[in-house]
Amino acid sequence: MKLSKGSSFLLLLFVSIIGLVAGSGCANIVPPLGGPRDTIPPKLLYVTPRDSSKHFNTNKIVFYFDEFIDPKDVRTELIVSPLSKTEPIVDARLRTLTVRIKDTLQPNTTYSLNFGNAIRDVDEGNILKNFTYVFSTGNYLDSMQLSGNVIIANTGKTDSTLIVMLHKKLDDSAVVKEKPRYIARLDTLGRFHFRYLEPGTYALYALKDEGGTRRYLTPSQLFAFSDTPVVIGPNTPSTTLFAYVEPDTTKHVSKSSSGSKNATAPKPEKEKKEDKRLQFQLNLSNGDFDVLDTFKLSFQHPLKEFDSTRIRFTDDNYKDIDTRNYHWKRDSTAKLFIMNYNWPTDTKYHLILAKDFGEDSAGRKLLKTDTVSFHTKKDIDYGEVRVRILNLDLSKKPVLQFVVQDAVKYSFPFRSGKEFRQILFPPGEYELRILYDTNGNGVWDPGQFFGNHRRQPERVVPIKKKLTVKANWDNDVDITL
């Protein structure tokens, strides 16, 4: 059948339309690939009431942003200053953030809302850092400031999880019983900055606020205090706080700093209840003793009896070492006993403990005589170390600390010169610190806040340069503090 020109045109048009429809049904719409990643945080378009408002008399604040937001951890990130008794309610919907204030606002007071790292966008989680909103219930905004930093006293490092607090009440009990008036966070460098402060005199503290109580409740909290109240005014100088943890005198860690291994291994808890034997530990590593360490004999429970005459200390041939050349010393817990001796290298010894040499508080003794054999390390197991500190202030009683995994491994006081030299030194990688040993006892001492003898903790300065000691090698380093 022959089609007319008009019919041919209509048929061609129909086939074309069918093809387009079929094609559009099978095709997938693919967004363009690549392009720069969004790194821009949300931007505030406007807020009601406006920022820095005076005569503030509402309980609702609404923020409008330029993109969808997804706030995180608002309860922990948001700081309202002065501190509120009841936390505000925060609600986010699309591009808006609404804050409903539940507290009764104080008259003639400047308030600030710092959102920390809470506000971020939906797509990439870009954070609008330290977004702050300010208002006043009076006819002016307080504008005083205070800045400073917090240092962990025994390491010289920082901890950005601490908070800094300003108390109106100046008596010591306020930091225990009451919440502060103002709070500030630390940045990664340990710095803080209070803004919009009311002029006046405040007690200044810092602490590790793990429970969100904003109070100093236990000696296990990191804590710092200013010796004198801080007067907030137009030119308040910056200040440095030194945080410390008070020692737990109820516990004693018998394992030595060099990483001991048990001469008599402690039993599992079930066996301990049935075991009548006295358990002890020695700070040996695979039967080797580090001549730079002190020889430690430690126990799980305090000893009520310890007779050093019932312990034989002999050479490799079981010949007794002259008792005038060594002596035993007990610590205050009666769990640790130290033997002082001038140890030579590459020498074998035996420690022979009679079964009645000691008895712990539960009446446990050895069931029979126990012998522990050990060997002091060789010269080639050590390297020689020389550390010169060019600008060291000897009047501050400096002590050079060698640190491994945040634990002080060795300490050496500078007595007359600015150079430390040790012919025998264990190989390894060490962090170096300088302790200013105020009381000259050779160890770091924490601060004391309560009581008649308030004192700051002793201070430690970390040295940026690490020292890698190689065995059988001369290891030299020059340091400028």
- Tell me what pLDDT residue 426 has: 92
- pLDDT per residue, tens digit, the chain (481 aa), is 444 444 444 444 444 544 444 444 444 444 455 567 788 999 999 999 999 999 999 999 999 999 999 999 998 999 999 998 899 999 999 999 999 999 899 999 999 999 999 999 998 999 999 999 999 999 999 999 999 999 999 999 999 999 999 999 999 999 999 999 999 999 999 999 999 999 999 999 999 998 889 999 998 999 999 999 999 999 999 999 999 998 765 443 333 333 333 434 344 444 445 567 899 999 999 999 999 889 999 999 999 999 999 999 999 999 999 999 999 999 999 999 999 999 999 999 999 999 999 999 999 999 999 999 999 999 999 999 999 998 899 999 999 999 999 999 999 999 888 899 999 999 999 999 999 999 999 999 999 998 888 899 999 999 998 999 999 999 999 988 8
For the beta carbon of residue 410, count every other beta carbon within 10 angstroms: 19
Beta-bridge partner residues of 114: 79, 132
Cis preceding-peptide flag for 82 (omega within 30 of 0)? yes
Q: What does the alpha-carbon distance between residue 348 and residue 316 come to, in Å, rounded to a whole number?
A: 5
Q: What does the alpha-carbon distance between residue 283 and residue 288 come to, in Å, rounded to a whole number?
A: 9
Q: Is the CA virtual torsion 287, 291, 294, 295 positive or negative? A: positive
Same CATH fold assignment for domains 44-136 and 269-377? yes
The whole-model pTM stands at: 0.77
Q: What does the alpha-carbon distance between residue 50 and residue 53 come to, in Å, rounded to a whole number?
A: 6
* CATH C-level class of 44-136: mainly beta
- Angle, CA of 309, 364 and 275, to the nearest 5°: 135
Q: What does the alpha-carbon distance between residue 194 and residue 115 come to, in Å, rounded to a whole number?
A: 14
Domain boundaries, the chain: 44-136, 144-243, 269-377, 381-479
- The CATH number given to 144-243 is 2.60.40.10
* CATH C-level class of 269-377: mainly beta
In CATH terms, the superfamily for domain 381-479 is: Carboxypeptidase-like, regulatory domain (2.60.40.1120)
